[in-house]
Chain A
Amino acid sequence: MADKVSRRNFLSMVGASTTGAVLFVACSGIPDEEFIVQAPVDLPEDLVKGRDNWFATTCGVCDGGEGVIVRVMEGRAKKIAGNPDFPVNMGKQSARCDSALQMLYHPDRIAQPLARVSRGSDLNPISWDEADSLLKRWVGSGSVTVATNPLRGHLGKVASDFAGKFGGRHIQFDALEQGVLHGAMKTVFGTDRLPEFDIANTQTLVSFGADFLGTWISPTNFSVKYGEFRQGENRANRGKLYQIESRMSITAAAADKWIPIRPGMEGEMAMAIANVIVGDGLVSDGNIARYTANLPDGTLAVFDLATVSGRTGVSEDTIRDLALDLAANGPGLVIGGGSAGAHTNGSFNLAAIYSLNILIGSVGTEGGLFLNPDSPWDGVPSSAAGASFDEWERELSEWRAGNVNTVILRRADIVRGLPRSVNVQQALDNVPNIVAFTDVLDDTSALADLVLPEASFLESWGTEIPEPAPGYQTVGVQQPVVSPARTRDGSRVLSDARAFGDVLLGVAGGDLGATSMKDLVEEAVSALFDLDRSASSITAPTSGLFMRGALQRGGWWDRDGKAASRPQDAPPLANTHSTPEFAEAAGGEGEVFYLQPFSSIALLDGRFASAPWAQSTPDPITSAAWTTWAEINSSTAKRLKISRGDKLIIKSTTGEIEVLAYPHVAVPPDVIGIPIGQGHENSGRWAEGRGANVLSILVDKKDAVTGALAWAATKVRVIRTGLNHEIARAEGSVDAFEVEPQFPIAVVRPGESAKDAIHAAEERHDTYADPDDK
């Protein structure tokens, strides 16, 4: 061990002059405490005027419905953090949460309503009165489509009711639609609400394609449980995670075993696991009976290890070991989603995956999954998924046929998000009136005839029903926590924005049961008070105090409000399509790859692209930021003479994009992974013209059952351009070198101490490093 030289020792060795000087001063009678180096009076926090307040509300940007608290000073939001009370995220947050502040104070927020005199002319400022009357006139002529992001809670009800009142429909858009997942839930468990995954108490966790720690559904919720799964104080053993995925997400990186699989073959692997468990009788007869009840004879035999291994690219031993582990080391839990459901056989894949929970007896048991109850409010949507690609094709054909008079868009960037083959822009050209609610112009709202500045969730009233719920009835209450955003000198309002729900209710003129979202929220909370639940999170003698409690805590939940999770029979899995089909690559030069689009950890599908914090967040795997890159296997790249930063053309049969190559070791040789989220023509100064939109080159393959877009079923050619650009990335900004074995990440076996592991590593290191010394 090296000798330690402390700073104080060092100072004493330097000489007496320093000490002498101090002594001299000390002798002058100044007390010792005067030598505190930094005077507290100068601390900046002591100079701050005003008082901060933390308000609870519900996040309105991500999909999970997390509770947040917002630090507000003088009407301005300063920080967003997870709401420690809220049972979904339990005080925690993702890398995206704080970006909502930058969206609130975005310098490119639309300041006031804008309208065009005619299609193709410029957008010009108008007053809200003019905008209101225009909107009333347009929707008054009927045939209205309201297109939004997936909406739960009262805003979802308002959007649907509004569309219904004006002779139209409410259609929801999600670029990476979750309809296949909801469909699989319905098939396997009889409810399309997503269940509560009891990851914290699971011993063996198997995930197919679901990047649940990064971007899938409710990652903060899952991450909190994952922390307990690994090192929970009350656990007997550390949990074990298998991730079966065609690229390395952060969930795959966290896994004890990452199993790369041929894209689209996840369902077959699930069936092979079932084949082993059933064939070897590894679980109870009752479980096997429930799993096989609706399975036609001979179904499992098709998925024998040798066949499935050949088709999936996963070794027989790996499949068998996983099956044995899952059956023997319970409680087990099997989840699936993301790319596993984004194939032509997506419904089969997810049904086969989730049915494994029935086989291992994990439905309604600790460490397994629990079905979630319905909303406490009748008629209010508690589950939402984007409409299928099939439905969108039908809707767009109505627009093209001139059957829709007015389209109202809200956070549905369909021009950017739907494949080029459906030509959304041409469909919009045939709609007489296009209205868009937005904060910053995106690629779809830029085409609107009337653009209405929409208030942030930090400025609006609303309710949220988180999905998945924590296993019991839970609602979030959203309240305005800041004053309308103003320029910093306070001279003008940054954006004269109004809440989407308030505008719809106003235009409907009271016909939707309320004239403001605030009224609806108060009514809704009052209804919760009337339920008079004994395990309610709020106890108050009056409805008014109950409302105050709901605002203080950011919502309401009833830990007894659970759904029955009973063992049930698995569905007839053989009736669904099991083999994936791919859109073949375009002809011409270049090697063919499976295209694996994936959600960016900071931008998701692109909704956060306007925020500079989100843009600058390093991707965990590549550390890249501010751009679009293509992950390619480093050996494959070497063979193709592709280096980091090489500009590549990624070409499908419907189009091509240019991205920068990022070779690394954790990509299957035949896969190219490209993040979703960039490639905006609009979306503010930090997003415009940056990177490429991989969604634009997807071919319109669909899931055979739901008609959802099979967004992982496109093959592409990769062509070198001969150009090279530097990738903005965090790695390399500090030197990486191995200072000592196990530095900086020490790895121990279960029960081993870090000290022993490091010393053992040093001994091995010395043996390897100094063979000539002997």
Chain B
Amino acid sequence: MVTQQDSPYNWGMVVDVDRCTGCQACVIACQAENNVPLNTENLYKEQRTYSWIRVERYWEGEFPDVKARFIPIMCQHCGNAPCEPVCPVFATYHNNEGLNVQVYNRCVGTRYCAIGCPYNVRFFNYWEPVWPEALRNQLNPDVTIRSRGIMEKCSFCIQRIRRAERVARRDDRLVADGEIQTACTQACPTNALTFGNLKDPDSKVSRMSKDRRAYKLLDEKIGTDPNVIYLARVEEKAEAVHG
């Protein structure tokens, strides 16, 4: 019987919506770290941009009593990921550290996973990514450039996770809380994003996940069991009416 090796890690993220200002720092930091192809004007118009993390804006009310609310959305790294069982070639699978992993070399581009994902966080490479030669100087050598015809998505900056785990193994210890920062959590100027090990009861994300404001997107409805936990926005006169 195949069993996954037990791991001391279950990587997860907490997003405090009450801190988020929608500033887009996470979006660009992610693109820089992960060699996300340039989102040209045409890609926007064709609605085929790549954004492993995006900030959604929701309106509520009418002028002058109007609010704009922001929420960062990235791969939720679901424990019960709808994208995983539909992949005919096992290009996307769940690893023993709680990550929803995309194996680029296996992907044959059926896009079933993107259809299955209720969070719309998987992106298909319709074209070969192109950078002017000079700009290729700044590409991150730790991250594969995805070729045409395959899916890509947030990996929780797996290259940073692997690096920290290697160092920890070398030092014969576990990765310490706060030792790994994904590019988005590192950039976020309001500290709205926190990354860590949900298996460690003392980690910051574990503590935050028990906050009264904690909720998971769609989990109660479709049971995706995400590893991304949101903390609700606080408003004095909160009305549950959304536009």
- Contact B51–A98 (Cβ < 8 Å): no
A679 to B139, CA, bound (A): 29
A630-646 interface (Cβ within 8 A of B): 633-635
A-B pairs with lowest CB-CB distance, top 7? A761-B240, A4-B223, A227-B190, A223-B189, A728-B44, A734-B120, A746-B232
A383: Cβ under 8 A from any B Cβ:
no
Beta-carbon contact of A617 and B138 below 8 Å: no
Query: Within 8 Å of chain B (Cβ to Cβ): is A576?
Result: no
A97 neighbours in B (Cβ, 8 Å): 25, 28-29, 187
**Would you give the shortest CB distance from A247 to chain B, in whole angstroms?**
11
Q: Given contact pairs A2-B222, A227-B192, A635-B63, enumerate 15 new A-B contacts (beta carbons under 8 Å).
A: A38-B101, A77-B138, A81-B186, A101-B138, A102-B135, A107-B135, A220-B189, A258-B67, A612-B38, A618-B27, A620-B57, A728-B44, A733-B48, A745-B232, A757-B240
Q: Provide the bound-state CA to CA distance between A146 and B3, in Å.
A: 71
**B189 touching A219 by the CB < 8 A rule?**
yes
CB-CB under 8 A for A613 and B31, given A104-B138, A633-B63, A758-B215? yes
A214, A230, A623, A728: the one within 8 Å of B41 (CB):
A728
The reply to whether the CB of A253 lies closer than 8 angstroms to some CB of chain B is yes
Chain B residues within an 8 Å CB radius of A99: 28
Count of chain B residues with a beta carbon within 8 Å of a chain A beta carbon = 107
Query: Which residues on the B side are within 8 Å of A251 (C-beta)?
Result: 21
Would A213 and B27 be within 8 Å (CB), given that A612-B38, A666-B66 are in contact? no
Q: Assuming A44-B144, A81-B187, A761-B240, is B17 touching A745 (CB within 8 A)? A: yes
List B residues 1-54 near A (Cβ within 8 Å): 1-3, 5, 16-19, 21-25, 27-29, 31-33, 38-41, 44-45, 47-49, 51, 54
Provide the residues of chain A in CB contact with B68, threshold 8 Å. Answer: 248, 253, 620-621, 666
A residues 598-627 near B (Cβ < 8 Å) are 601-602, 612-613, 615-618, 620-621, 623, 625-627
Residues in A714-751 with C-beta less than 8 Å from chain B: 726, 728-736, 738-751
Is A487 an interface residue, CB under 8 A from the partner? yes
Taking CB atoms, residues of chain A closer than 8 Å to B232 are 745-748, 754, 757
Contact yes or no, B140 A7, CB < 8 A: no
Q: Which residues of B contact A226 (CB under 8 A)?
A: 19, 21, 190
- State whether A250 touches B212 (Cβ < 8 A): no
Q: Are A745 and B233 in contact (CB under 8 A)?
A: yes
Nearest Cβ on chain A to B99's Cβ, whole angstroms: 10
Given A101-B138, A488-B136, A761-B240, A626-B63 contact (CB < 8 Å): no
Complex CA–CA separation, A584 to B59 (angstroms): 33
| B239, closest chain A residue (CB) | A747
Interface 1/0 per residue, B79-117 and A, CB below 8 Å: 111001100001001110000010101000000000000
Across-interface contacts of B49 in A (CB, < 8 A): 616, 730, 733
Among residues of B, the one whose C-beta sits closest to the C-beta of A214 is B23
B72 to A: closest C-beta gap in Å? 10
Q: Which residues of B contact A (CB under 8 A)?
A: 1-3, 5, 16-19, 21-25, 27-29, 31-33, 38-41, 44-45, 47-49, 51, 54-59, 61-64, 66-71, 73, 79-81, 84-85, 90, 93-95, 101, 103, 105, 118, 120, 132-144, 159, 162-163, 183, 186-192, 212-215, 217-218, 220-223, 225, 230-240, 242
Cβ contact within 8 Å between B80 and A6: yes
Cα(A601)–Cα(B70), bound, Å: 15
Determine if A668 is an interface residue (Cβ-Cβ < 8 Å).
Answer: yes
Give min CB distance, A44 to chain B, whole Å. Answer: 5
Taking CB atoms, residues of chain B closer than 8 Å to A1 are 220, 223
Q: Is there contact, CB below 8 Å, between A230 and B136?
A: no
Q: Give chain A's interface residues, CB within 8 Å of chain B.
A: 1-7, 10-11, 19, 22-23, 26, 32-33, 35-38, 40, 42-45, 48, 50, 73, 76-82, 89, 91-99, 101-102, 104-107, 109, 213-214, 219-220, 223-224, 226-228, 230-231, 238, 240, 248, 250-251, 253-254, 256, 258, 260, 485-488, 494, 601-602, 612-613, 615-618, 620-621, 623, 625-627, 633-635, 664-669, 726, 728-736, 738-755, 757-758, 760-761, 764-765
**Minimum C-beta distance from B179 to chain A (A):** 13
Chain A residues within an 8 Å CB radius of B54: 618, 730, 734
Chain B residue at smallest Cβ distance from A228: B191
Contact B213 A754 (CB under 8 A): yes
CA distance A299 to B56 in the complex (A): 46
Q: Which residues of A contact B51 (CB under 8 A)?
A: 730
A260 to B63, CA, bound (A): 9
A43 touches B212 (CB 8 A): no
Residues A665 and B133 in contact, CB atoms below 8 Å apart: no
Complex CA gap A318/B181 in Å reads 42
Tell whether, in the assembled complex, residue A95 and residue B28 are in contact, meaning their CB atoms are under 8 Å apart. Answer: yes
Q: In this complex, what residue of A is CB-closest to B118? A: A739
Q: With a CB–CB cut-off of 8 A, which chain B residues contact A735? A: 120
Q: Once the chains bind, are A626 and B234 in contact (CB under 8 Å)?
A: no
A contact face: mostly helix, strand, loop, or mixed: loop
B218 close to A739 (CB less than 8 A): yes
Known contacts being A488-B133, A620-B23, A620-B24, is A745 close to B140, with CB within 8 Å? no
Asked if residues A729 and B44 are in contact (CB atoms below 8 Å), the reply is yes
Contacts of A91 in B (CB 8 A): 186
Whether B24 lies near A618 (C-beta < 8 A) is: yes
User: Would you give the shortest CB distance from B112 to chain A, in whole angstroms?
Assistant: 14
Inter-chain contacts of A733 with B (CB < 8 A): 44, 47-49
Residues of B within 8 A of A227 (CB): 16, 19, 189-192
Residues of chain A within 8 A of B80, CB atoms compared? 4-7
Q: Tell whether, in the assembled complex, residue B23 and residue A94 are in contact, meaning their CB atoms are under 8 Å apart.
A: yes
Contact of B189 among A102, A224, A626 (CB under 8 A): A224
Shortest Cβ gap from A660 to chain B (Å): 12
Q: What separation, in Å, do the CA atoms of A87 and B142 have in the docked complex?
A: 30
Q: Is the CB of A5 within 8 A of B223?
A: yes
B124 to chain A, nearest CB (A): 12
Bound Cα distance from A5 to B84, whole angstroms: 12
Verify B32–A250 contact, CB threshold 8 A. Answer: no
- Interface centre among B24, B40, B56, B62, by most chain A C-beta atoms within 10 angstroms, is B24
Contact A36 B61 (CB under 8 A): no
**CA separation between A353 and B36, bound complex, in Å?**
44
B residues less than 8 Å from A79 (CB atoms): 32-33, 138, 140, 183
Bound-complex Cα distance A764 to B48 (A): 37
Q: How far is the CB of B169 from chain A (nearest CB, A)?
A: 11
CA distance A765 to B241 in the complex (A): 9
Give chain B residues whose Cβ lies under 8 Å from the Cβ of A740.
218, 220-221
CB of B18 to closest CB in A, whole Å: 5
- Cβ–Cβ < 8 Å partners of B235 in chain A: 256, 747-749
How many whole Å from B111's CB to the nearest CB in chain A? 14
Q: How far is the CA of A616 from the CA of B61 in the complex (A)?
A: 28
Q: What's the Cα separation between A750 and B81 when bound, in Å?
A: 33
* CB <8 Å contact, A2 and B238: no
Which chain A residues border B70 with CB–CB below 8 Å? 250, 253, 620
> CB-nearest residue of chain B relative to A9?
B80
Bound form: Cα–Cα A226–B22 in Å: 13
23 example contacts (A-B, Cβ-Cβ < 8 A) are as follows A4-B80, A76-B137, A79-B138, A93-B186, A98-B28, A99-B28, A227-B19, A230-B16, A238-B18, A240-B236, A250-B21, A613-B38, A616-B44, A618-B24, A620-B21, A728-B41, A739-B221, A740-B220, A743-B242, A744-B230, A746-B232, A758-B240, A761-B240
**Shortest Cβ gap from A214 to chain B (Å):** 6
Contact A749 B217 (CB under 8 A): no
Known A-B contacts A44-B159, A488-B136, A620-B55; A250 and B215 likewise in contact (beta carbons under 8 Å): no
- Measured in the bound complex, the distance between the Cα atoms of B71 and A744 in whole Å is 8
Is A32 in contact with B5, judged by CB distance below 8 angstroms?
A: yes
Check B63–A668 contact: CB distance below 8 A.
yes
Q: Which residues of A are found within 8 Å of B234, using beta-carbon distances? A: 230, 238, 747-750
Is A253's CB under 8 angstroms from B22's CB?
yes
B196 to chain A, nearest CB (A): 15
Contact in complex: A669, B63 (CB < 8 Å): yes
Complex formed: what's the CA distance from A89 to B24 in Å?
16
Q: What residues of A have a CB within 8 angstroms of the CB of B225 in the complex?
A: 4, 6
